[in-house]
Chain A
């Protein structure tokens, strides 16, 4: 696998570190009105420990530690290792990568 970093260009896999599935969103222990969510414990259990573990196309978080040190959101097939898309993760200079800011 080689990954085309939106900031650095195509680089070899060893420069990157894998975090995992980008889909799970951290749940909130509290509702908007400040009251405790009754199912927070279940929601956190699912978030921390359970995985879809997709066989096929998956959206993942990678870190380019050996290059620009940006977090990337990569769409990749777990059955073929083919990379479909590489984007800067939200907040990681995504606007710069898209040419909207310098």
Chain B
């Protein structure tokens, strides 16, 4: 299915009855070269890059529900590459560059909007920390600008600068950051992968692994029958531990619930993404006018896809601290997604100790921005059996080797990342 202004006009005049499928709904084949478990953004991007970059087209993406029904449809749609540590910085900038050309690559309007992100700072110490982060970005060729109090008042005049406890002194700006339409990213990758021969199989839950006498994974058992595979890749976010356990693996991951919120629609207010530096609160405004915001994870292990009141209160307090006027705005919707919180806050894209089984997990609550680079790096690993240059530090054994990438410096306590 291809779209144009003419097809839109034609469909509008015929009551929108003529739309056809954007991707096929195939029956699973007996065998694929690569089976990817998880039809979220990362799994679909992996299939797309396998077909486009590495010529591996005999690929299936298995999804237990419908594609994009997990975290791909539950995030706050922020894209950015303002990381600091080696390992992260190059990877997320690769992702940013892939975002910048995604709509041309996919011929799909994913509404990538580089409206900028500003991380507010509220003390001299925090300004120094952000200056250091900005400098780390700039020596790696990534745009970053440190704004002082006068400059930031021009960009965001509506903030509460004189909060007695957390006065806003300035902010770190990345202009190339912004937002993208999360569902469109899923649909764009699905259509592009499908058109290159990838089978997207929905309502197909993996229930076990098929292994040969040497322990090598040779396929998966599913709710729609057994499917053979040359290689199997897992991209199942919050369910990583459950799927890996079917192959006898324990992972350095805990599953936690992260809530997100949307307010009723208001007139254009927030030009980009704003984060509150004295607590944990991030907000942008959708094109429909709703304020899209969130904060910390709830902090306890959960697979429930819903959170509790204390974190809602905490998030709203963060918002009120920098924008007291949003206290008059009503909350429209609120939901939860299950995050694969790793032990150092950094993802894993690696082979597993089980032959034929590959892992893409540990995205914590930063997986959406990583979608394109995660897909490219995982496809590279699956196709070539070696890590992608920019994901070479995302190894599963880095905890054993003491080579953690701990951007927040919190240690092995996942609910603090």
Contact = CB atoms under 8 A, between A and B. Distances in A.
A51 B254 contact: yes
Given A45-B399, A49-B343, A78 B309 contact: no
* List of 5 A-B pairs having minimum Cβ-Cβ separation, nearest first: A53-B241, A14-B310, A49-B399, A18-B300, A50-B250
B254 A13 contact: no
Given A50-B252, A53-B253, A53-B255, A79 B304 contact: yes
Interface of A: 1, 12-14, 17-18, 20-21, 45-46, 48-55, 58, 60, 76, 78-81
Given A13-B310, A18-B415, A20-B413, 13 more contacts: A14-B310, A17-B299, A18-B301, A45-B400, A48-B412, A49-B399, A50-B251, A51-B241, A53-B301, A55-B303, A78-B255, A78-B301, A81-B308
Main secondary structure of the interface of B (DSSP, over half): mixed
Contacts of B299: 17-18
Of the listed residues B300, B306, B308, B310, the one surrounded by the most CB atoms of chain A closer than 10 A to its CB is B300
A60 B301 contact: yes
Interface residues of B, number: 26
Interface string B288-322: 00000000000111111010111001000000000
A66 to B, nearest CB: 10
A2 to B, nearest CB: 9
Interface string B76-89: 00000000000000
Main secondary structure of the interface of A (DSSP, over half): mixed
A47 B415 CA distance: 17
A100 to B, nearest CB: 30
B242 interface: yes
Contacts of A14: 309-310, 313
Interface string B376-417: 000000000000000000000001100000000000111100
A13 B415 contact: no
A49 B255 contact: no
15 contacts: A13-B308, A13-B310, A20-B301, A20-B413, A20-B414, A48-B343, A51-B241, A51-B251, A51-B254, A53-B242, A53-B251, A53-B301, A55-B241, A58-B301, A81-B304
A49 B412 CA distance: 7
Of the listed residues A1, A17, A49, A79, the one surrounded by the most CB atoms of chain B closer than 10 A to its CB is A49
Contacts of B242: 53, 55
Nearest to B404: A49
B197 to A, nearest CB: 34
Contacts of A46: 250
Contacts of B301: 18, 20-21, 53-54, 58, 60, 78
